[in-house]
Each structure stands twice: as structure tokens, then as C-alpha cells.
Amino acid sequence: AIRNPMCGICGIHNLALNPVNCREVIDRMSARLQHRGPDSQGKFQLPHLAFAIRRLSIIDLETGDQPLSNETGEITLVFNGEIYNYRALAGRLEGLKTDTDGEVLFGMLARSCDGDILRAVQQALPALDGVYAFALMGEGSVVLARDRMGVKQVYFGENDRHVAFASERKALWGIGMRSRRLNPGETLR
């Protein structure tokens, strides 16, 4: 049997003018993805936005936990996939602390991020050889991206209160949201 390693990522952005804590919603979404990542789980949370990941450790089993954030918490990444050329890309970056493709991806995005996270993502994507779905939060918005081949799935939905994304539709259905799939090679802000 062919094994398709996977993690589970999800996130929610509360659109209400008076933001409420997203903790309960992100916890429900993450619980629906538990089978995708038995090795670790992580969460990043602001009052109006939250990301979560269920990680299946493939590379750097000890130190590859996510979400990844910069020192100020201005940008945060959750990532599902594998960047095949991450070692070559790591040679372009300084200050890496782990041997993970996720940290290399985050380093590339953080280096390019000059106030426009969509542009940072669009600049990084051509250098990536791999299969992935990821979400980058910064400057008050979130950008989703999916690999050109469409191997890794990511779904999104919105209603009058929330915009959300997840690796599986059932995480969105579990919060009463209809879902659409991000197309292969597509980015979405």
C-alpha cells in the first residue's frame, strides 16, 4: 500500500465587529483532524483568529512542531506537506534552528514579507518543489496556498460570522460551514 503522510491544518477568522474568543471553534475543528496527526498538536490564537495543526512527524521528529511564528507574532504559518528541495533552499537562509522543511518555508515567507503577505507567498511559491497546503497569517489577513499538482488538499468556507479553512471538509462541516476546495496551484487571501 502507498502511504500518503499527512498532517491536518485548520484555522478560523472571526469577522464580527466585536470579536469573540475562537478557542472553542478551533478546538472543535482540530479534534476532527486528530487522526491526521498523532505525533503532536499546536495552536496559535488571537481573540479574532486561530490556527491549529495536528502533526504527523516525517522530518525532524524532535523539533518540527507548529504553528511557526516570528518573534513578534506578526506572522504565523501552519503547513501540511513536504518540500523536497528544502535543504537547497535552507542554504539561502540564516538563523535556522531546526532541520525541517516547515521552518525553511517559514523563513522564506518571513524574509519576503514586507507588509504584503500575499506577495510574500507569490514570491516563494516558484522556488518550492514539493506537495503542500499552508496558511500564512499576517497584517490582519490570511493567505492559503496549495501545491501545483493538487496533492495536498485544503478547503475553505465562510458565513456571516467566520472565514475558515481546513485539510478536510468535515472540520468545516463540524462548525456548520459549507466548504469549497482551493484549486491546485491557487492562492487565496
Q: How many other CB atoms sit within 10 Å of the CB of residue 123?
A: 15
Confidence label for 1 from pLDDT (cuts 50, 70 and 90): very low
Cα–Cα dist 162/158, whole Å:
6
Helix residue ranges per DSSP H, 5-135: 23-31, 86-90, 101-112, 117-124
Cα–Cα dist 177/156, whole Å:
9
Cα–Cα dist 50/10, whole Å:
8
Report pLDDT for 60: 54
Cβ–Cβ under 8 Å, residues 166 and 8 = yes
The pTM score is 0.89
Q: What does the pLDDT look like over 114-161, one tens digit per residue?
A: 778 999 999 999 999 999 999 999 877 899 999 999 999 999 999 888
Report pLDDT for 16: 73
Q: What does the pLDDT look like over 75-118, one tens digit per residue?
A: 999 999 899 999 999 998 988 888 888 899 999 998 887 778 99
> Phi then psi for 187, rounded to 5 degrees?
-120, 150
Confidence label for 181 from pLDDT (cuts 50, 70 and 90): very high
Query: At which residue does the C-alpha cell 501545483 appear?
Result: 148
Taking CA atoms, 169 is separated from 150, 166, 174, in Å, by 16, 7, 9
Report pLDDT for 97: 86
With CA atoms as reference, report the closest residue to 78 among 99, 109, 39. Answer: 109
Q: What does the pLDDT look like over 13-72, one tens digit per residue?
A: 888 755 566 788 899 999 999 887 666 688 988 888 899 988 766 555 566 677 888 887
Task: Dump the DSSP string for 113-140.
Answer: -SS-HHHHHHHHGGG--EEEEEEEEETT
Report pLDDT for 17: 57
Report pLDDT for 3: 44
Catalytic (active-site) positions: 7
Pick the residue with more confidence: 2 or 185? 185
> Phi then psi for 40, rounded to 5 degrees?
-165, 165
Q: Please say if the pLDDT value at position 168 is more than 90.
A: yes
